[in-house]
Amino acid sequence: MKRQILISVLIAVGINHLSAEPPHGPGLGHAISPEEIAAWDISVFPDGEGLPKGEGNVKDGKALYKNKCIACHGENGLGTATGDQLAGAQMGLTSEYPEKTIGSYWPYATTVFDVVRRSMPMTAPGSLNDNEVYAVTAYLLFLNNLIGEDDVMDAVTLPKVKMPNEDGFINVYEEETSK
Amino acid sequence: MTNGRKSGLSLQEHQVAGNGLLDRRLFLKKGLQFGAISTIASSTALAATNSETKIKSAHPPWMHVPGKPFSTYGMPSSFEGNVVRFPTQNEAVPGNGVSWTPLHLMEGTITPNGLHYERHHNGVPQIDPKKHRLLIHGLVKQDLTFSIDDLLRYPMHSKICFIECGGNSNAGWNKQPSQSEAGYFNGLASCSEWTGVPLSVLLGEVGLRKKAKWLVAEGADAFAMQMSIPIEKALDDAFLALYQNGERIRPENGYPLRLIVPGWEGVLNVKWLRRLKVTNRPVMARNETSRYTELQPSGKARMFTFPIEAKSLITSPSAHMVLKEPSLYQITGLAWTGRGKISKVEVSADGGETWAEAELQEPVLDRAFTRFRLPWHWNGKPAVLKSRAIDETGYVQPERTELVKQRGRHGFFHYNAITNWHVDSDGFVSHVYDKNENETTDSDISIDSGWD
């Protein structure tokens, strides 16, 4: 009897999905349009997927930084008691007091855009438009000597910025699960 | 003399390890006898004061007036006002920081909702559940949104599990031992019964595409917290919690919807969950690259360190407590592991020379707080108490020396070493490192930085 039920269940699942899939619930989800999803989705990946249109330069970024970021992150991104140091690392990662800045530690330039757009400034997150986020990103990369003063950041140039510590990470999960 | 003597017990007979550690079954076996002694003492006192006024005064005022009426939502006794979380926040951004669970003032294994630790990156959003939706999209056959009312209609399951912040106990990386109370530097860990919808059910409904390997989870807070989680975990035992210890989740713990990934570091248990993007790779968010990664002495950093390794902590006696007199005491504490069940907790009262197995409170649950207890006779001389957890994978909680040797001092996250409590001859308890740790004492510079 039990086996019969199991077989019927398997057949039912098979008819619905033609392959083994996780169990179904009552199916109460609502469809959503691609346009609406695009408005929700602000995730930016290292290869540039998710980067919006627009562009920003170092000069504009510097002005924005002085206005919106400097209170916490300090002059030239050197950090304060309340905000991360973002640039100007003097001490290397193997030193007694390592400094983990965008230039010395962060593996991907796209992460700067992503976190500035979604989380910054802390007092008014989401208040910068995409051009402004590109500009602030450009200025921070410039402060870390990762781009030139005249470089412009956009969806094409940003993912190409070479980050010195890109290979500085050990993927512990991958190591464990590939054993 | 000591309680042990009064009870007629021969302590030596029950000693199982050095410096007064006694058989873990002692309280269970002899509990009645200890109880009888204290009852006899108080009835003698009553007998000697047997007059009418004395009887009246023997009955406290609250036995002579009606008590307070019923309440719609109960609160702790006003005499327990010290049992509170301890917030440590960013001065410029008060919603960025942590609040520590007072583990040293608590018993059992369940954390009351008002005492569950907090870690927020930009405050606690006040979310109207009618206006909250969950979007699941990306490498799926059908993108779908769910309202909270929708989710409340799904079949649910419950799991009692701990959540521990990856940065818990990180004062341990400092060269000088923290002298905060035990919970106020180890209490970014709490344990609740969480109830909600298995994520596998919802992923089944959207239908995963073949390339689906990761989920990017996003919260509806002002930080728009974002973390990547492997799809294997999502399909295995992750769930979307709506309830915490029987009531709807508190705002500070993710109301109305929290992702629970049992046993994995706290930051992955995304609060105020609003979006799950199914992808073929991690998004490399700020909090999985520049933070929540552990810089090693080699200059390389560990990344995606998901499961919490086994850890234990003696919660009593612990720092700032005072043992009044040489006597029989109960050593008690918590152990937990993100890799299954705790199989054993060992306790030492002689700084690690000898160890005795503690009693584990049943039931011992998978990836939940496990309470341990052991009777101890303190002889009035200085002693160093330690506990070490062993989990069902055979992993043994390391000594601090060992952990620092492996990981250096700049990992910031995933500190799970053994904690030592030193009891001095006045009974005062403080936090010490092992003598052989030979740390320089010329520097008071703390761990890399705070909770930005």
């001389």: which residue's tokens?
A: B381
Q: What angle do CA B109, B114, B115 make, to 5 degrees?
A: 50
**For A29, which of B144, B232, B301 is closest by C-beta distance?**
B144
Between CA B449 and CA B359 the distance in angstroms is 38
Tell me the chain A residues in contact with residue B302 when contact means C-beta distances shorter than 8 Å. 169-170, 172
Q: Is residue B260 exposed (0-12), middle (13-18) or buried (19+ Cβ within 10 Å)?
A: buried
For domain B311-437, give the fold. Answer: Immunoglobulin-like (2.60.40)
Reported confidence tier of residue A8, pLDDT bands at 50, 70, 90:
very low
Tell me the chain B residues in contact with residue A77 when contact means C-beta distances shorter than 8 Å. none
- Other Cβ atoms less than 10 A from the Cβ of A75: the count is 11
A118:B224 CB<8 A: yes
A29:B202 CB<8 A: yes
Length of chain B: 452
**What pLDDT, on the 0 to 100 scale, is given for residue B448?**
45
Between CA B135 and CA B386 the distance in angstroms is 47
pLDDT above 90: residue A42: yes
Pair B116, B101: CB distance under 8 Å: yes
**E strand intervals along B222-280:** 226-230, 239-244, 247-248, 258-260, 273-279
Kindly report the nearest CA distance between residue B220 and chain A, in angstroms: 11
Q: Supply the CATH classification number for the domain B103-302.
A: 3.90.420.10
Kindly report the nearest CA distance between residue B146 and chain A, in angstroms: 5
ipTM associated with this complex = 0.89
What is the distance between the terminal CA atoms of chain A, rounded to a whole angstrom?
A: 40
Interface test with B, best of A18, A33, A43 (most B CBs within 10 A): A43
Kindly report the nearest CA distance between residue A98 and chain B, in angstroms: 8
**What pLDDT, on the 0 to 100 scale, is given for residue B53?**
72
Between CA B367 and CA B306 the distance in angstroms is 13
**What pLDDT, on the 0 to 100 scale, is given for residue B407?**
96
Between CA B106 and CA B83 the distance in angstroms is 8
Kindly report the nearest CA distance between residue B93 and chain A, in angstroms: 7
Q: Domain A37-168: state its class.
A: mainly alpha
Reported confidence tier of residue A4, pLDDT bands at 50, 70, 90:
very low
- Other Cβ atoms less than 10 A from the Cβ of B347: the count is 26
**Closest Cα in chain B to A123:** B93
B300:A24 CB<8 A: no
B204:A110 CB<8 A: no
Q: Read off the amino acid at residue B434.
A: D
Interface test with B, best of A94, A113, A123, A140 (most B CBs within 10 A): A94
Kindly report the nearest CA distance between residue B404 and chain A, in angstroms: 14
Between CA B7 and CA B433 the distance in angstroms is 36
Length of chain A: 179
Tell me the chain A residues in contact with residue B293 when contact means C-beta distances shorter than 8 Å. 169
**What pLDDT, on the 0 to 100 scale, is given for residue B56?**
75
Instruction: Tell me the mean pLDDT per 10 residues along chain B, length 452.
Output: 48 89 81 38 45 79 95 97 95 93 98 98 98 98 98 97 98 96 98 98 97 98 98 98 98 98 98 98 98 97 98 98 97 98 98 98 98 97 98 98 95 97 98 75 50 56
Reported confidence tier of residue A13, pLDDT bands at 50, 70, 90:
very low
Tell me the chain A residues in contact with residue B286 when contact means C-beta distances shorter than 8 Å. 111, 114-115, 119
Tell me the chain A residues in contact with residue B224 when contact means C-beta distances shorter than 8 Å. 42, 118-119, 125-126
Domain with CATH 3.90.420.10 in chain B: 103-302
